[in-house]
Amino acid sequence: MATIDQEQPAPHAPLHVAIVMDGNGRWAKRRGLPRQVGHPKGVDAIRRVVEAAPAQGVRWLTLYAFSTENWRRPAGEVAEVMRLLKLYVNSDLDKLAREGVKVRILGRRAGLPPDVAEIVERAERQTAHNDKFFLQVAFNYGGRADQVDAARALAAEAAAGRLKPEDITEELLQSKLSTSGLPDPDLVIRTSGEQRLSNFLLWETAYSEFVFQDVLWPDYNADYLRAAIEEFQKRERRYGGAVADDVLAAG
């Protein structure tokens, strides 16, 4: 793994980039291989992007690795994803920790195999005090499930008399999400040519910019990330408002 911060960050780069890593199965299928063969190649792409992101001005990187819906996939494919998570953490965690990367796993812990839950906790514990770069992995994560869990937490507080329903605000609900404390993504990238969120960061992406790239995830590299950031830099973010010229034109 290369050392981070090897080149000058792009001006006005998105500080938080979230990526829907799509196309592992199709990558393998196009080569006449079983779907699960694509996942190790996808891990190689993760390494390339984690190395490249800080040098391009990104401070937070959130990767969608395994959704709450992915449990419906063939058991062999699910087992391969679990194996690769463990392999990635075991092989890369020490270097990530030395380079100042803080690892955080988003999503439900309940239902994870015990050995996977243990390695998730170890990754967070070993990097807890780092602050040079922030890597979030959404694993057993779903945007709707995360909001349901947040609503349940607030409902429990209200039922216990510790919270009045009228005191619930957007900020309070957000504090109960698994992404609490993270800035909202500036840029969301989806690979493989598909153009949908697939239940990823539904709350947090309200004002994110989206870039869809027609490349399968195992082929992803620093050049594709740079292209997405360059597209982001062309955008004018309004957050529901309007620029002066638009107001004058409307008048």
Q: Please, are residues 192 and 216 in contact by the beta-carbon 8 Å criterion?
A: yes
- Annotated active-site positions, please? 22, 70
Q: Which residue in this structure is represented by tokens 């906790």? A: 121
Q: Is 164 helix (H, G, I), strand (E, B) or coil?
A: coil
- For 116, 236, 239, 242, 245, the CA distances from 248, given in Å and listed in that order, are 56, 17, 18, 10, 5
Q: Which residues contact 99 (CB under 8 A, 6 or more apart)?
A: 3, 4, 132, 133
d(CA 189, CA 200): 11
Residues β-bridged to residue 102: 134
Q: Which residues contact 171 (CB under 8 A, 6 or more apart)?
A: none
